Amino acid sequence: MIISNKLRIGALLACSEANGPGRRFVIWMQGCEKACRKCINPQFQDIKGGYEISFEMLSKKIKRSIEQYNVNGITFSGGEPLYQAECLCTFVKQIKEEIELNIFMFTGYTYSELNEIQREVWDMCEMIVSGSYMYDQKGNTEKWLSSSNQKLSFDPRFEELEVFNRTPSEITIKEDGSIIVTGLIEDTQLIEQIKNSI
């Protein structure tokens, strides 16, 4: 089997404090088949959307963020990161050999639902929020969960990083003028109002 040296992603954010403990480089993976009701990121569901980025370019961007913002971790969100498990597994192995950063992954799957390669990705992560987003059970910002059915798993050393204290939302204006609103903002009209007022 030939595994690509690229990932299909929906967006990148060089530094965020709303997507995991500390300062993090965030990668929103493109493609998800779960179609959770009132998904906060529906633009990342289309498996043909987004764009491809090489491992080499992504690695350079992460290293640049370490230099500029002193990021201490990488967060994979989406979309569904494990939809591209083969390529993601290869990339995570590579980046862990190059850089000492912890990995935080948001996935709509539980461990029992995973195949072998997906479990390999899971096992390389220091922190995971797992389980589909359930709109009727929404809300638990203190524990990084979007809905109460989800589960947080983390390496015990994360207790020292105050993993339960989170920035619930964040607005970032990028150099190209584009705006990223991230975190637990569920009012889509408010998001649009914010974007239009800037």
pLDDT tens for 157-171 read: 666 555 555 556 676
DSSP assigned state of 83? G
Give the pLDDT confidence of 82-105 residue by residue, as tens digits. Answer: 999 999 999 999 999 999 999 999
Cα–Cα nearest to 183, from 144, 153, 135:
144
pLDDT value for 108: 95
Instruction: Give yes or no for residue 175 having a pLDDT over 70.
Output: no
Pairing of the two strands 24-29 and 73-78 = parallel
Q: Map out the domains of the chain with their CATH numbers.
A: 6-166 (3.20.20.70)
Report CA 4 to chain centroid distance, whole Å.
20
Give the pLDDT confidence of 4-17 residue by residue, as tens digits. Answer: 799 999 999 999 98
Tell me the whole-structure pTM to 2 decimals.
0.85
